[in-house]
Structure 1
Amino acid sequence: MPESHAARWLIASGLLVAALPLTALMTALLERSGPIRMRHWVEEAGGQLRDLWENPGRFEVFRYLVNLVAKLVPIVLLGCLARALALGGVSAPWWIALVAVALVLAVTELAARSLVGSDPEEALRRITWIYRGTLALSMPLVVLCAPLVPRRMLGEERSAPADDDAASEEEVEAFIDVGTREGILEPEDRDLVWGVVDFGDTQVRSVMTPRVDIVAAPVGESLDRLAELFIESSVSRVPLYTGSIDQVAGILHIRDLLAGLRVSPRPLAATLAKPAFLVPETRLLGDLLKDLKARRQQMAIVINEWGGTEGLVTVEDLVEEIVGEIEDEYDEAEPESTLLPDGSLLLDGRAAVERLEEFFAWAPAEHSSETVGGLISGLVGYVPQAGEAVDHAGLRFEVEKADERRVLALRVRRAEPRLEDTGA
């Protein structure tokens, strides 16, 4: 007889173990889903769930009940397990049951939150039927307790404060995902929207032209030489510096240069240049765009915390961050990467490190370099020259072209295994 009672308690424990991940998942989804995602889900589910959402008081009670059940299940499970052990004649310390329940609870909680983080909307859709059943069972209690919910708790999570127009990143992500899935947004439109969303949080250093690529000239350069520089570089503005690029004296526009070439005697380049606008590399793009608009300027010099020049940024750079690369008839179409017949990859030194992951399913250990050329220079501690090769993490990097400042082009291939690695 005690054995049959013990079996019943074990069966009850098994059912509660099965219920643990469901209650944990239900709680996590209700806690971590924003109002946009919840609204889309209830509209899709319809019926009582949609009616529940439209009544904030009842929804708060339902969410509280789900959370309460999730907390009670492990407590009841602990009691059932302890009772089963006692009736089964198992002489074990009471804390064994406690540890077992705690482990099961921790695993299920982590699994539930991992699932919510990977695709919360799909998780909501899959367990809609469980929410419906739970709501059907608890509806009398929900209706009874809804009037007791304080008014200040109603709707505070569904609408932002009047002085806060910014939606959370989670809500924007949900909106974009829904729009893409429903066909409202095309894939290219999705990228455009994300460009707008990320624009305000991106720092200038992420989009600037780096120092080594700046086309600049000494402030005392002749107008004829400056004209040649404009023709060679196909730019419309050139920074003028005193001594070094760290001391930018002004920005010369090609229109002002042409005006200076037509008069006699010819003026000095310094008198034609406009004052340079300096911005820190940590300036946000949204703020910089406002600054440039207010100053009616198209270019800014980016400086670091010590006042040295890090690069330059133009309005075109800011627009490209939203809409993608903009090329005119003077831009040379040089691909960053070319896949060669032998399976190796020819890369521009400025190519992003992520290109290696795309082509070779390869990711280096933690590093601070954004470009492949910078990665290789960081590995060897200097700027490698043409003909040098570096083996790293299963890839072989062969420098094709370089100058004294940076790697310009390199070839990447999978490294051949060494004899000691193959056991020969």
Structure 2
Amino acid sequence: MSATELGLLLGLAIALLFVSGFFSGSEVALFGLRRVDREQLTNSGRAVDAAVLSLLAQPKRLVVSVLIGNEAVNMAIAAIAAYLWVPAWPAAEPWGIAALAVLASAATVILFGEVVPKTLAIQQPISWARQAARPMALFALVIAPARWVIHGLAELIARPLGGATRPRAADLSEEEFRTLVDAGSAQGQVDARERRLIHKVFEFGDKNVGQVMTPRDKVFALSYDLPMARLVKEVAARGFSRVPIYQRTLDNVRGVLNAKDLVRATAGQSPARTLAELLSEPLYVPRTTPVARLFTIMKQKKVHVALVVSEYGKLLGLVTMDDLLRLLFGEIHDERDNLQQAARRGRGGRTPVPGSLSAVDASAGVAKLEAADVEAPAMAESAAEAPAEPADDAASADGTDATKAAATAPVEEAR
């Protein structure tokens, strides 16, 4: 073999190695484009981007073209390697030369025709796809007859094996969805509040109970042994609508007390006569519980408070439905917040309360709490759940006027 022939064959092998890398990198770049990348190409208006999208619009055509080109080039490299090795060992067996040629060419192709170009393509998929679009489209056109034959044979073989089923639509990842939302917000298609809410929904799913709970040392709870009048005072003073009730230690919670039930019981409006009858079964969760899972459980069980415990039953903290909603919506303000601002004691011994408050709750509840010399924070809870006639003034059961105003103390979940 002359030096010229040897040089030409080596040059051809190196050129084919670059072509192999082109096909490998193009495959990764084109099929690795995310949906947000395709959206960017669609909105750019550039001709080269339209060429990229045209290739991606026919994925089967593209993948068959890439495979034909890549495999043909790799086989050509192996053949050249075998031809170059023959003069080096004239006495060697042909199969031995072929084996050595395949091993050497395979190692070279894997490194320089697969790993290196695919690594570069992954790092810059859009740039690589733009560079490859027109050459790949031309190659696909040139080999169209061969592609039709190979594609037809592949479909014929795949159909009995279930390969002709309808392709599944690609899922949109969290990162892609967030990027689309940000792009929509920048273009004015997504409101800023909607954008914040969508991002908070994803953040909501990433948190667990231990990250949002009120820690044990800040939990407001009352002893089961306190008399009813003292319970009324304590609940009214702190303004929580639901309070854990424990016996001897916080690790032994008997149940959760609803302030509204306490008011009705002390006013004689409830058949319950003892504290035990007023308590609801506590919901216990480990600190590793995902926040989204807890939200679902609390909705299903219709509870507003969950106690966070360790594997040994030790109370670690407390989570309320309000805590979970704040993660999504921030500080929540409702009609009860307005009630807190306007409560006042009128002349002639009248106590103004909201017109939406039931007359029975207004007269009996306020009277009972006044007897205990405390304000009525839980009345706002009643206002939200027991609407009365939508009039500015309402008459109570004993004739006392109930004018449209509001209660004073804040109503929150237990902390």
TM, length-normalised to structure 1: 0.56
Q: Could you tell me whether the CA contact under 8 Å between 2:242 and 2:258 is conserved in 1?
A: yes
In 2, distance between residues paired with 1:180 and 1:274? 45
Q: Could you tell me whether the CA contact under 8 Å between 1:78 and 1:101 is conserved in 2?
A: no
Q: 1:207 to 1:141 in 2, by over 3 A?
A: farther
In 2, distance between residues paired with 1:27 and 1:173? 26
Q: Which residue of 2 aligns with 1:237?
A: 242
Q: 1:16 to 1:52 in 2, by over 3 A?
A: closer
Q: Which amino acid aligns with 1:159?
A: A
Q: Could you tell me whether the CA contact under 8 Å between 2:25 and 2:120 is conserved in 1?
A: yes
Q: Could you tell me whether the CA contact under 8 Å between 2:24 and 2:114 is conserved in 1?
A: no
Q: Which residue of 2 aligns with 1:314?
A: 320
Q: Could you tell me whether the CA contact under 8 Å between 2:222 and 2:231 is conserved in 1?
A: yes
Q: Which amino acid aligns with 1:192?
A: L
Q: Which residue of 1 aligns with 2:297?
A: 291
Count of residues in Structure 1 that have an aligned counterpart in Structure 2 = 313
In 1, distance between residues paired with 2:18 and 2:186? 32
Q: 1:320 to 1:104 in 2, by over 3 A?
A: farther
| 2:169 match: secondary structure | coil
Residue 159 in structure 1 maps to residue 169 in structure 2: yes
- Given the alignment, which residue of 200, 209, 231 partners 1:204? 209
For residue 64 of structure 1, report the CA deviation from its aligned partner: 2.8
Q: 1:322 to 1:126 in 2, by over 3 A?
A: farther
Q: Could you tell me whether the CA contact under 8 Å between 1:28 and 1:112 is conserved in 2?
A: no
For residue 300 of structure 1, report the CA deviation from its aligned partner: 1.8
Post-superposition CA distance 1:272-295 (Å, at most 9, x none) = 433322344454444433332343
> Identity of counterpart residues, as a percentage?
21
Q: Could you tell me whether the CA contact under 8 Å between 2:243 and 2:257 is conserved in 1?
A: yes
- Given the alignment, which residue of 193, 200, 221 partners 1:195? 200
- Given the alignment, which residue of 126, 129, 136 partners 1:127? 129
Q: Which residue of 1 aligns with 2:12?
A: 12
Q: 1:97 to 1:216 in 2, by over 3 A?
A: same
| 1:246 match: secondary structure | strand
In 1, distance between residues paired with 2:261 and 2:223? 17
| 2:244 match: secondary structure | strand
Residue 104 in structure 1 maps to residue 109 in structure 2: no
Q: Which amino acid aligns with 1:312?
A: L
- Given the alignment, which residue of 117, 138, 141 partners 2:140? 138
Q: 1:327 to 1:201 in 2, by over 3 A?
A: closer
For residue 322 of structure 1, report the CA deviation from its aligned partner: 2.7
Q: Which residue of 2 aligns with 1:66?
A: 66
TM, length-normalised to structure 2: 0.57
Which blocks of at least 5 consecutive residues in structure 1 are unaligned?
116-121, 161-165, 330-424
Structure of greater relative contact order (alpha carbons < 8 Å, 6+ residues apart): 2
Q: Could you tell me whether the CA contact under 8 Å between 2:201 and 2:328 is conserved in 1?
A: yes
Q: 1:242 to 1:180 in 2, by over 3 A?
A: same
Q: Which amino acid aligns with 1:137?
A: F
In 1, distance between residues paired with 2:40 and 2:174? 16
Post-superposition CA distance 1:172-225 (Å, at most 9, x none) = 356446535655447775443233245456543443334444332332234566
Q: Could you tell me whether the CA contact under 8 Å between 1:239 and 1:251 is conserved in 2?
A: yes
Q: Give the number of the structure whose alpha-carbon radius of gyration is greater.
A: 2
In 2, distance between residues paired with 1:199 and 1:33? 28
In 1, distance between residues paired with 2:80 and 2:185? 48
Q: Could you tell me whether the CA contact under 8 Å between 2:283 and 2:307 is conserved in 1?
A: yes
Cα RMSD after superposing both structures: 4.7
Q: Could you tell me whether the CA contact under 8 Å between 1:24 and 1:112 is conserved in 2?
A: no
- The structure richer in helix per residue is 2
For residue 60 of structure 1, report the CA deviation from its aligned partner: 0.8
Post-superposition CA distance 1:122-147 (Å, at most 9, x none) = 62355224123201221254586298
For residue 249 of structure 1, report the CA deviation from its aligned partner: 1.5
Q: Could you tell me whether the CA contact under 8 Å between 1:3 and 1:87 is conserved in 2?
A: no
Which blocks of at least 5 consecutive residues in structure 2 are unaligned?
90-96, 335-415
Q: Could you tell me whether the CA contact under 8 Å between 2:25 and 2:117 is conserved in 1?
A: yes
Q: Could you tell me whether the CA contact under 8 Å between 2:16 and 2:73 is conserved in 1?
A: yes
Residue 214 in structure 1 maps to residue 219 in structure 2: yes
Q: Could you tell me whether the CA contact under 8 Å between 1:199 and 1:321 is conserved in 2?
A: yes
In 2, distance between residues paired with 1:186 and 1:111? 38
1:260-299 matches, within 5 Å, as 269-299=275-305
Q: Which residue of 1 aligns with 2:409?
A: none
| 2:257 match: secondary structure | strand
